[in-house]
Structure 1
Amino acid sequence: MRPTVPGEPDGPAAVDLLLAGTGAAGLSLLDALARHGVTGLRLLVVDPVDRLHAHPWDRTWCFWSKRTPAHLQKAMVASWRIAEIAAPDGAGNRLDLDPYRYHMLTADAYARLVARRVARAEAELGWHVETLVDGVRHIVDGPDAATATTESGERLTASWVFDSRPRPPTRARTTLLQHFRGHLVRTRQPRFDAERILLMDFSVPQPDRGVAFGYCLPTDAHTALVEYTVFSAQECTEPEYDEHIRDYRTRLGLAPQDDQDTTTAHVEHGVIPMTDGRFDPHPGHRVIRIGAAAGATRGSTGYTFAAVTRQTDVVAGLLAAGATPRVPDAYPRRHRVLDAIMLRALADGRLAGAPFFTRLWQANPPVRVLEFLQGTSTPRQEAAVIGTCPSLAMLGAAASLFTAGNPLSRPGI
């Protein structure tokens, strides 16, 4: 790799592509570049965690699709067709998601898969890949190259810098946090039905504003990911998270803490901003943001992974064709308007979250809900979904947004 030219952020690029961060978006971009057959790529991966070699399991990603994506199949832990939604009173609603499947993959399995594809690209496509275990402090754009400065002070230039680091939105009017604590639980005795997931369980105690739910994703009769999730303005304290997940384990008939039958193999924690703010994927000529930093997180649900893969596939295809990479919108504009209204209704207490989401699943076919949440629904499907929403709460939230600026015209939408 050629050395950086000191003091010249617009000087010769040391590499073709610098990737800042290897979470879901960074791994997905590497995967897409290899699958699209981009040749002769000089690539530098910069991340405080060397995911291409260490493969830590610190998170899971879930999404749904009509067909199991062939390029992700080897990283998937499980897929399900049958789901259940539990109402606030505990009553269950069984859903057949067909033709969709709900998929779960883990960070370590996906990182291993991508690492193998990167190694194959080095051997067959002429890639030269280096990994720098460091964080990126800031990035300076230029007309022909961009320069990233690491936390340790190293300056690196690249023809393109893809930045997947989380960042706050601009011009946000409403922001909630999706925060969760999960346990990967293993039991000696068979406790789970691996053919069915509990996708949303609203029988857990609810916050004054927002919504809380549990879920249980069994991968076999002895193993399941059990999580407690909240949409609210603030995170819980550590003791509160521990209390909530213990309580939810008890509700599922599991021991609240590890015993002779039940062990916790892994603890998962995360915070995902849900916002109507604006994310600019193109802050400069040579700097491109991907993932949540490019608006891939759905404002009303926090789901991100499917949109990430759609965006990185487009970017990789453009690079393979020798074109300027552009990140497409993750979701249609009309969906972002509806997300903004729902977020405001939840945040200001106009909308009781648990009854709202319960009715959403009860009053609509599962396919309609899934396609709406995925951002692939038609206007006709969306009109049907809107027809099942509490009109007074939504109209009040829309009016509140208009006092802050027209939700149909603000840049955040």
Structure 2
Amino acid sequence: MIVPDYYYVIVGGGLAGLQLALSINEDIFFKGKKIAIIEPSLKDHNDKTWCFWEKGEGKWDEITTKSWKKGKFITKQQENLLDLGDYSYKMLRAIDFYEYAKQKLEKSTDIFFIQDKIQSIDPVTRTAIGAKKKYTAKHFFDSRPGKKYQDDPKNTVIYQHFKGWRIKTSAPAFDPEVFTMMDYRIKYKNTTSFTYILPFSETEALLEFTFFTPFMTEEAVYDEKLKEYLEQILKIKDWEVLETEKGMIPMTDFNFEKNSSKHITMIGTAGGWVKASSGYSFKNTEKKVAAIIENIKMGKPPGQGLSSIRFRKYDGIFLDVLARHNELGEKIFEKLYTRNKVQEIFRFLDEETKPSEELKIMLSLYHPQFLKSFFRKI
């Protein structure tokens, strides 16, 4: 029998791949198992920002850029202050996470970083075909998203797409203790679109103009709306753009688990680890990685039971409404944030609630279109 090159190959050195590698590296159970992380890029710059909420201290606090205990939800009619209670809303820059993970993993004698682009994986021969060479392994963890979620007529796809400016102003313009979850005072016509603000000081903040839509848009639209927000809402005339970032996150009720097989487990976005109704992924990834580690140690398939059918149905109903009536987004989120405590919302989005609590939240969002979407999806 031919011995494979590696025990595990992790395809992709982004959030999911590195969190998985870190957890494997920290567990004595995996000692002596040779692992490769194969990633085409060097991951040597800040390509994104992750935010998440959690109670108390967390395992990522030493690399967290900033955290907040209060937030805002704003429409043209009202402004709601969100008291997070025992939760904190935390921000982490991707480059800080990449550097932290590499520093930890490069000390291991079992883990190897390889710069290559994997083009395909043969599950029969357990061989990954890269641009430079082939790699064999006992099991693959694959984070390449692919497009299968777009081809299934039974599922719904909404795209969270955005562009952000990290700006510095010449005069105080922000409250560094309060972030803005959603501000709908500047919108793109007939869409679910809003401004998101993470303030670092009175003169520096990250502003993102964000869409939850079934379609994409031109880059000039984001720039126009960010400029409009700064001038018309914040009344800022003088600012400097220090850094820009943009991205697209698929939000879908597609069952990603069916893409995994005996020798290949899909992870990250490719595994459905992005919360479909919110687009958040960082803490979700932490939970999925912990479940994978536990499955392996129990002798189960690594990807077994990683998703909840119940919550995928909830997400599907919500996404169906936005896909068919995107203009309703502002009203739906207004009901969510004004009729529920933010702690309840966080627990629901973390999939930690009981059915009775979920029913309360779903009823708070009531609109006739939800009934139609309910019967289409359920």
**TM-score band, normalised by shorter chain:** over 0.9
Partner of 2:40: 48
Partner of 1:111: 98
* Partner deviation per Cα, 1:103-157 (whole Å, 9 max, x = no partner): 111111111111122134x1xxxx3332222211000113xx62111134x1110
Residues 281 and 23 of structure 1: CA distance in aligned 2, closer, same or farther (over 3 Å): farther
Deviation, 1:45, is 1.5
Q: Is residue 129 of structure 2 the alignment partner of residue 149 of structure 1? A: yes
Q: 1: CA distance between counterparts of 2:156 and 2:295?
A: 34
Q: Is residue 139 of structure 2 the alignment partner of residue 160 of structure 1? A: yes
The answer to whether the 8 A contact 2:257-2:303 is kept is no
Spell out the pairing of 1:397-412 with structure 2 (5 A cutoff). 397-399=373-375, 401=376, 407-408=377-378
Q: 2: CA distance between counterparts of 1:281 and 1:184?
A: 39
Q: Kindly, what percent of the aligned residue pairs are identical?
A: 26
Partner of 1:216: 197
Match for residue 70 of structure 2 among 82, 96, 109 = 82
Spell out the pairing of 1:377-388 with structure 2 (5 A cutoff). 377-388=353-364
Match for residue 374 of structure 1 among 350, 354, 358 = 350
Deviation, 1:241, is 2.1
Structure 2, unpaired ranges of 5+ = none
Secondary structure in structure 2 of the residue aligned to 1:352: helix
The answer to whether the 8 A contact 1:281-1:288 is kept is no
Residues 162 and 354 of structure 1: CA distance in aligned 2, closer, same or farther (over 3 Å): same
Deviation, 1:255, is 4.6
Q: 1: CA distance between counterparts of 2:33 and 2:256?
A: 28
Q: Letter of the 1:150 partner, please give it.
A: G
Partner of 1:241: 222
Q: 1: CA distance between counterparts of 2:189 and 2:351?
A: 28
Q: Letter of the 1:101 partner, please give it.
A: S
Q: Is residue 319 of structure 2 the alignment partner of residue 340 of structure 1? A: no
The answer to whether the 8 A contact 2:277-2:318 is kept is yes
Partner of 1:23: 14
Deviation, 1:366, is 1.1
Q: 1: CA distance between counterparts of 2:329 and 2:156?
A: 16
Q: 1: CA distance between counterparts of 2:215 and 2:53?
A: 28
**Does 348-357 or 58-67 show the bigger shift?**
348-357
Deviation, 1:95, is 1.0
Deviation, 1:191, is 2.6
The answer to whether the 8 A contact 2:51-2:90 is kept is yes
TM-score, structure 2 normalization: 0.92
Residues 331 and 101 of structure 1: CA distance in aligned 2, closer, same or farther (over 3 Å): farther
The answer to whether the 8 A contact 2:39-2:114 is kept is yes
Q: Is residue 178 of structure 2 the alignment partner of residue 196 of structure 1? A: yes
The Cα RMSD (Å) is 2.1
Deviation, 1:317, is 3.9
Deviation, 1:344, is 1.1
Partner of 1:139: 121
Q: Letter of the 1:160 partner, please give it.
A: H
Partner of 2:60: 72
* Partner deviation per Cα, 1:298-349 (whole Å, 9 max, x = no partner): 2211112211110112223444x37345235555322211211111111111
The answer to whether the 8 A contact 1:316-1:325 is kept is no
Q: 2: CA distance between counterparts of 1:336 and 1:163?
A: 22
Q: Letter of the 2:230 partner, please give it.
A: R
